[in-house]
Amino acid sequence: MATDSVKTEVGSYFISNYPPFSQWSEDYIPDLQQALASEPRAGVPLGLYLHVPFCRKRCKFCYFRVYTDKNASEVETYVSALVDEIQLVSQQPAMGGRPFRFVYFGGGTPSFLSPKQLKRLEDRLRKSISWDQAEEVTFECEPGTLSETKVKTLREMGVTRLSLGIENFSDKILEENGRAHLTKEVYNAWEWIEKAQFPNVNIDLIAGMVGETWDTWRDSVQKTLDLSPESVTIYQMELPFNTVYSQDILGNKIETPVADWPQKRAWVSYAFDELAKAGYSQSSAYTMIKDPTKVSFSYRDNLFGGADLLATGVASFGHISGVHYQNKTEWADYTGDILEKKQLPLKRAYRPTPEQLLIRETILLLKRGYLDVDYFQNKFGVNILDKWQPIWNEYVETGLATVDGNRIELTRDGLLRADGLLPPFFEEQHQGVRYT
């Protein structure tokens, strides 16, 4: 996505790592196995990601590995594989006896699991691992999958932060975009969540869903404010290649139905303004938080800063001791490796160079909205102002960033275009390559 693009074209994407995933391969699996078999690097925090790939429906804009057609027996097969994988992971020397600083149940829809399935999952996981010392345990939820019993179960499991995928408060827009829930289910869920007294609840919104207008967007922002969550995350609608919408656009050669970038940026800017009026503070290019002194987005901040992440579940991404990796991406391959072969389901990996680790941390931390030049000097021995002076000069001249001493900060306009500002930092061989 270029900074000056207008139309939301197929192939736009959200940058979450570097080098691009398309550069990873089986050739680096030996590097990964060596990293897993070695003691961890000193002082590096450890996190755990658990991928629960089930959904009631597949959203038309979704590009994740999810399944909507699995029966109870298949769900149990997967959960058994996930538990066994975590048991195998917990035995790796790379764990190094470290407690998990953060744990993230993502998907798919982790809240797809029933209370009984969740309790069984917790009981079996705790035979291998514990998250009692984690500063944050996040669980993603689709509102329509929640019940009062399930919410209570999540609280008892030690979940400290719920991330509620509301996306929009218009039933018409939710239906058009393939969401499984409707607004009534949001309010039912919110009542149970408040009763359970979760310390941290995040609401996800998406600006630019098909059918969005100024009226529907203002309404969604106001209803979000009425609920008053601890944090609000707002994404701008993307069109990666493997979504229903993208396939329809390419196959039928139709115009993109997604709002253009200037319109999406205007909607996000409006939301930021309204949230700021209500006392929220900017936490990143996508998030506003109510209390900046509380731990929030530990998963994000630790990953951006180079923490180790043990990724479990089909198609999940992680990194350990400087090596990035992805698990097997097909159901049969994943469950077969775990349940039949009793081995980790590793598909591909990549060992970034020191230069690539510097780029990765620079672009990911920039998504927070600012960079501390001294941080990079101390960690990498590089002055990032000098290294990328032409890029910073351009961003300052075009009103996308400011430089004040040793602090680089994105302006509002820069925050709204954050992902588009990152590719210029990529190495030449990664300019213009397919991301995934």
Asked whether 169 and 197 are in contact (CB, 8 A), the reply is: no
Element (DSSP H or E) covering residue 204:
strand 200-207
DSSP 8-state secondary structure symbol assigned to residue 336: I
- In order along its 436 residues, the chain shows pLDDT tens digits of 344 568 887 776 778 999 999 999 999 999 999 999 999 999 999 999 999 999 998 887 877 778 899 999 999 999 999 999 999 999 999 999 999 999 999 998 999 999 999 999 999 999 999 999 999 999 999 999 999 999 999 999 999 999 999 999 999 999 999 899 999 999 999 999 999 999 999 999 999 999 999 999 999 999 999 999 999 999 998 887 778 778 887 788 777 888 899 999 999 999 999 999 999 999 999 999 999 988 889 999 999 999 999 999 999 999 999 999 999 999 999 999 999 999 999 999 999 999 999 999 999 999 999 999 999 999 999 999 999 999 999 999 999 999 999 999 999 999 999 999 999 999 999 998 888 7
Instruction: Phi first, then psi: give them for residue 54, nearest 5 degrees.
Output: -100, 145
Element (DSSP H or E) covering residue 59:
none
DSSP 8-state secondary structure symbol assigned to residue 67: B
Set out the domains of the chain in order of their start, with CATH numbers: 21-302 (3.20.20.70), 353-427 (1.10.10.920)
Residues in the chain: 436
pTM metric for this prediction: 0.94
CA distances from residue 400 to 268, 318, 369, 411 in whole angstroms, order as listed: 16, 31, 11, 5
Task: Report how far residue 46's alpha carbon sits from residue 178's, in angstroms, rounded to the nearest whole number.
Answer: 35
Task: Report how far residue 368's alpha carbon sits from residue 370's, in angstroms, rounded to the nearest whole number.
Answer: 6
According to DSSP, the residues that pair with 413 across neighbouring strands are: none
Whether residue 369 has a cis bond before it, omega within 30° of 0? no
Q: Strand 346-350 and strand 323-327: pairing?
A: antiparallel
Determine how many CB atoms are found less than 10 A away from the CB of residue 199: 14
